[in-house]
Chain A
């Protein structure tokens, strides 16, 4: 069974601080995605990383895929209250199956 563990589970920080969320697995994935989910809504895709060691930037968000394609991290610089939400990683096990991580609930205080 493929599992994705995220850490930390909860994170509460002040506006302007930096943070890193980790997504770890013992399985290799062809690619890995990061989503953000707001209360009462479905997840929204932020980024897909495909190549081991790949780094992608989306404004203040930096995503990295581990060299072995088993883990990933999301770094947010100068967090803002609008970054508050549930962050989910998802391993792509093929065209047809996505395995979601355990989630990190982020709260950014003004």
Chain B
């Protein structure tokens, strides 16, 4: 069964460093999402991506964040200068065609900023 994969599973970085979180969505899906979940808190929407551009973003997704689909298979989230409060689980999700409502989530990347 097709699934969304994410790498790495755990990333530890120093404050101020750049990190890139990688996702491989399900191959024929068209919509891509990033969410984060701070430990013990709710899942927060960051950004959605469709047709090679950002469709919508939340207030969390500031200038420090960017997304890219560099090669038609990977979908990346870059945090330019990490802060302590960026420590969280980051989930990638993908969805098929218009009219479908099922997002498939990856297993997440745990980001720890020291």
Task: Give me the interface of A with B, judged by CB distance under 8 Å.
Answer: 31, 33, 37, 40-45, 48, 88, 90, 92, 94-103
A-B CB contact pairs (8 Å), 29 listed:
A33-B101, A40-B107, A41-B105, A41-B108, A42-B4, A42-B91, A42-B107, A43-B43, A43-B91, A43-B105, A44-B105, A45-B103, A48-B101, A88-B42, A88-B43, A90-B43, A94-B56, A95-B31, A95-B98, A96-B31, A96-B48, A96-B55, A96-B56, A97-B48, A97-B58, A100-B42, A100-B44, A101-B42, A103-B42
Residues on B with beta carbons closer than 8 Å to the beta carbon of A100: 35, 42-45
CB distance from A89 to the nearest CB of B (A): 10
Q: Report B25-74 residues with CB < 8 Å from chain A CB.
A: 31, 33, 35, 42-45, 48, 50, 55-56, 58
B33: nearest residue on chain A (CB-CB)? A98
In the assembled complex, the CB of A91 is this many whole angstroms from the nearest CB of chain B, namely: 10
User: Once the chains bind, are B101 and A42 in contact (CB under 8 Å)?
Assistant: no
At the interface, is chain B mostly helix, strand, loop or mixed? strand
Docked CA distance A96–B35 (Å): 12
Closest to A100 in B: B43
With A and B bound together, what is the CA distance between A48 and B103 in angstroms?
Answer: 11
Q: Specify which chain B residues have a CB less than 8 angstroms from the CB of A94 in the assembled complex.
A: 56
Q: Which residues of B contact A101 (CB under 8 A)?
A: 42
